[in-house]
């Protein structure tokens, strides 16, 4: 007989709040945990079939590996099946990922898996997309991008490619610190193909492909440009970001030339040939140099390919 607490775990111990986001994966809601009084983000992933189940389980496995100050913290996960009673976990620690795997083993004999996977994560106050819409100061922009680089560098060090880096998937906590999240399509290097389901503008042109950290570098290039260049309308954003994706820095429609060091650095990151994109440590060094020394905008900057160009403008 199924444990009634496990059957009603979510509704009994959480008070659901506002809807934070939704998509093909399901939905994310804010929920207050009755026991500690804290607010969490609960991702609810409807499962109808083994493929969806395995994809969702992989996200839990990725989250359980990634413990870093600039990655959304994962707390626990539990699966509720509507096939043979309810399967769930009362654990509140990271070991619950193992229990989800155990539930998978138990479900391995079931031809069709249906139910819902609940993923309890850190609640963040906002995201980078909203901050960009409000406008980002130069000093703040450098800090935020360096924090993004720290988080992405750690993800790659674990043999994982995020595959869906975009401002809406980069969250900000109450102290405005970066927290990278939404690992729904993240893949382990050399294990799976990276799917073409990422956000428009940010997804690398070579996708679908084998997971490669350089695909994330492309996304970082678009994010870097957007952090430092105010794009006031949807049409302007569409025009300029697609121009950058095509490796161009001139907007003939508005007669604007983006020729500052940030724009030129972003151009290197979005190189159409993945092998020509710089490594993350080199990017970090360049951004730190620009943030530490405003006069570095006037000096020669060497590209990762050995090209040298003069950045002799004060704007970005």
Q: Could you list the active site residues?
A: 164
Structure token digits, residue 229:
């260049």
Alpha-carbon distances of 78 from 95, 102, 122, 182, rounded to whole Å: 11, 11, 16, 17
Which residue from 181, 144, 150, 160 is spatially nearest to 41, judged by alpha carbons? 181
Q: Is there a binding annotation on residue 44?
A: yes
Measured over the CA atoms of residue 211, residue 199, residue 96 and residue 121, the dihedral's sign is: positive
H/E stretch holding 7 = helix 4-7
Alpha-carbon distances of 274 from 27, 31, 206, rounded to whole Å: 33, 41, 8
Output DSSP code: residue 2: -
3-state secondary structure of 236: helix
Alpha-carbon distances of 62 from 72, 133, 179, rounded to whole Å: 12, 30, 15
Structure token digits, residue 79:
């699966």
Are 4 and 17 a contacting pair, CB within 8 Å? no
Pair type for strands 26-33 and 39-48: antiparallel
Q: Which residues are annotated as a binding site for ATP?
A: 44
Q: Which residues are annotated as a binding site?
A: 44
């Amino acid at each position: 007989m199924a444990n009634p607490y496990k059957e009603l775990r979510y509704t009994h111990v959480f008070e659901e709040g506002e809807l934070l986001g939704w998509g093909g994966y399901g939905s994310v809601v804010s929920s207050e945990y009755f026991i500690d009084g804290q607010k969490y983000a609960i991702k609810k992933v409807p499962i109808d079939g083994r493929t969806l189940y395995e994809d969702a389980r992989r996200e839990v496995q990725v989250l359980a590996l990634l413990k870093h100050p600039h990655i959304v913290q994962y707390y626990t996960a539990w699966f509720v099946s509507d096939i043979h009673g309810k399967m769930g976990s009362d654990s509140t620690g990271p070991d619950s990922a193992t229990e989800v795997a155990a539930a998978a083993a138990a479900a391995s004999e079931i031809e069709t898996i249906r139910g819902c996977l609940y993923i309890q994560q850190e609640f963040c106050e906002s995201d980078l997309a909203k901050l960009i819409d409000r406008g980002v100061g130069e000093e703040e922009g450098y800090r935020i991008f360096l924090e993004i680089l720290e988080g992405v560098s750690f993800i790659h060090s674990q043999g994982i490619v995020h595959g869906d880096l975009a401002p809406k998937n980069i969250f900000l906590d109450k102290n405005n610190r970066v927290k990278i999240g939404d690992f729904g399509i993240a893949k382990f290097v050399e294990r799976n193909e990276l799917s073409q389901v990422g956000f428009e503008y940010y997804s690398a042109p070579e996708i679908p492909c084998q997971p490669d950290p350089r695909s994330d570098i492309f996304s970082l290039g678009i994010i870097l440009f957007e952090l430092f260049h105010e794009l006031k309308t949807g049409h302007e954003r569409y025009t300029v970001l697609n121009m950058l994706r095509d490796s161009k820095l001139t907007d003939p429609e508005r007669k604007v030339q983006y020729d500052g060091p940030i724009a030129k650095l972003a151009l290197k990151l979005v190189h159409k040939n993945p092998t020509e994109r710089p490594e993350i440590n080199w990017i970090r060094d360049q951004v730190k140099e620009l943030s530490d020394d405003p006069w570095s905008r006037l000096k020669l900057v060497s590209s990762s390919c050995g090209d040298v160009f003069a950045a002799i403008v004060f704007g970005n």
